[in-house]
Amino acid sequence: MHRIHQGVLRGVALALALAAPVVLGQGSTVDEIAKYRAALQDGNPAELWEARGEDLWKQKRGPKNVSLERCDLGLGPGVVKGAYAQLPKYFADADRVMDLETRIVWCMVTLQGYTEADAKKGPFGNPDRKSDMEAYVAYVTSQSRGTRMNVALDHPKEQEAYRLGEKMFYFRGGTHDFACATCHGEDAKRIRLQDLPNLTKTDGAQKAYTTWPAYRVSQGELRTFQWRLNDCFRQQRFPELLFASDGSIALTMFLARNANGAAFDAPAIKR
Amino acid sequence: MQRRPSTIILLAAVLAGPAILLGCATAPSDAETTAKATAVLKASFREQGQAKLDRLVQDDTQKACSESAGKAPPNDVAERIEKANFASIKWPADGKYLGDWKNGEKIAQEGRGMQYSDDPKGPVGANCYACHQLTREELSYGTIGPPLYQFGKSRGYTDDVRKYAYGKLYNAEAYSACTNMPRFGHMGILTEQQIKDVVALLMDPQSPVNK
């Protein structure tokens, strides 16, 4: 295991070295960035989070000293494979639509005996404090790699979450009048040189949603979809999106459902 | 006896037309969904740094543009939005629109400002390059807005164009309802002097925008 990780890190270092001299010239800049992104795919440190997440998942933890192995992610207790590709979904035991992170919190509370506040603490890691949630998510999502997105809108609460998520996507507010749709409502747009997926179209939503979570090279952390939404709203000049809030789940439902049919392909690696 | 019930059903179908066409008579109305989405959204945020919860309270323009969901609003709504926003523009007291283009370039490059992660003491920029091409030199520009290279040169260095540029920067909703562009003056993002400096970046013949 140790040797694999070293290889991964060497691969990333090499990719960064190769991509370092980005020549500025409009066409070639974009080309060089594309090459840099392709080079990054060779070694993905997300594997470190996946391995740590699997270890943690199977460890006896919490006040009740049990593992998360009996956690029901929607396909029955203990089934991790393919579960993420069907989330968010309605869970009868909680009488609520849940995304992966919310469901993990639920399992930490009901199986392991954590308080909800403790289970939700520090969902986004930094160099000083690694996040267990990011590790859990890396492991669980890796078990859906290659599985086609298949998010259902059968239960009335699933349908409602989708409708509310769609409204939230177009909600304009803050000092800058921004909505999600401001940046993600048209084809082939970019901010500076960063390409923006059109999340209102199937192919745009599929490409974006199936490549989160991702290892962010610029941050040295694996970031979950909850983090992605949280950081979008920061840039929108909104207040802070609450982790595992109903709003975050509704928006995730809207985007995940729009990605149906595409093969899930994460944890990925991004700049 | 056979005809009357079917007439009533037909009448009911006509009255309830849209709901039945959607195949779900119990679906909530669009207004109900909007109200619930707004309530859920407001309960899903907490204040952080300078970004307080009042940023989720929409004004009439934000509300109407959210409802049009990425499409152009109906003509009467667009007219209402543009008229109200135009009336709110505060024009410079000295009647001058042109500041310092060099400072304008700095403001156009500056991406910080108003995020909860930003220092409330500033700096606050307009981040024009995030969405617009402006000069030949800066290759890292976005494409959400139209290219503005040679803005003054192509339109003419007239007072009318200067005034238009000032007004558009102050409150873009006055000219194009539900535009993606922020209302830099109206929302207190930029000061009058900063707007003049950006106008100069667009309108000064010496500015790299017009080279």
Q: What is the CATH classification number for the domain harbouring A261?
A: 1.10.760.10
Examine residue A90 and state whether it is found in any structural domain, yes or no.
no
Beta bridge partners of A221: A216
Across the interface, which of B38, B46, B180 has its CB nearest the CB of A239? B46
Q: Is A192 on the interface with B (CB under 8 A)?
A: yes
Kindly report, as residue ranges, where domains of CATH 1.10.760.10 are found in chain B. 45-211
pLDDT of residue A156: 98
Instruction: Say yes or no to pLDDT of B79 above 80.
Output: yes
Pick from B52, B129, B143: CB nearest A239: B52
Q: Give pLDDT, residue A30.
A: 67
Residues A171-191 have pLDDT tens digits of 999 999 999 999 999 999 999
Q: Is residue A217 part of a domain?
A: yes
Report yes or no on A117 lying in a domain: no
Q: Predicted ipTM? A: 0.88
pLDDT digits (tens, 9 = 90+) for A55-88: 999 999 999 999 999 999 999 999 999 999 999 9
Which residue out of A71, A107, A183, A232 is catalytically annotated? Answer: A232
The beta strands (E) that lie in B24-177 are given as 45-46
Measure CB to CB from residue B115 to each of A26, A179, A235 and give the nearest one.
Answer: A235
**Within a domain: A33:** yes
pLDDT in tens, B85-141: 999 999 999 999 999 999 999 999 999 999 999 999 999 999 999 999 999 999 999
pLDDT of the residue at A18: 41
Q: Mean pLDDT across the stretch B150-162? A: 98
- A232 is a catalytic site residue: yes
Give the structural domain span for A30: 1-43
Q: By three-state DSSP, how is residue B27 classified?
A: coil
Nearest CA in chain A to B29: A163
Tell me if A172 and B69 make a contact (CB, 8 A cut-off).
no
Look at residue A64 and tell me if it is in a domain.
Answer: no
For residue A140, is it within any domain?
A: no
For A144-194, the DSSP string reads TTTPBP-----SHHHHHHHHHHHHHHT--BTTTTB-HHHHHSSTTEEETTE
Task: Mark which of A26, A43, A60 sits at the end of a domain.
Answer: A43
The tens digit of pLDDT for each residue in B173-203 reads 999 999 999 999 999 999 999 999 999 999 9
Nearest Cα neighbor of B70 from A208, A194, A201, A233 is A201
Does residue A95 lie in a domain region?
no
A193 to chain B, closest Cα gap in Å: 6
- Domain count of chain A? 2
Tell me which long-range contacts B159-162 makes (C-beta under 8 A, separation of at least 24): B159/B97, B161/B203, B162/B97, B162/B98, B162/B199, B162/B203
Q: Within the 65-124 window of chain A, which residues sit less than 8 Å (CB to CB) from chain B?
A: none
Locate the chain B residue with the closest alpha carbon to A23. Answer: B139
Contact A246 B182 (CB under 8 A): no
Query: Domain B45-211, what fold?
Result: Cytochrome Bc1 Complex; Chain D, domain 2 (1.10.760)
- In this prediction, residue A35 carries a pLDDT of 73
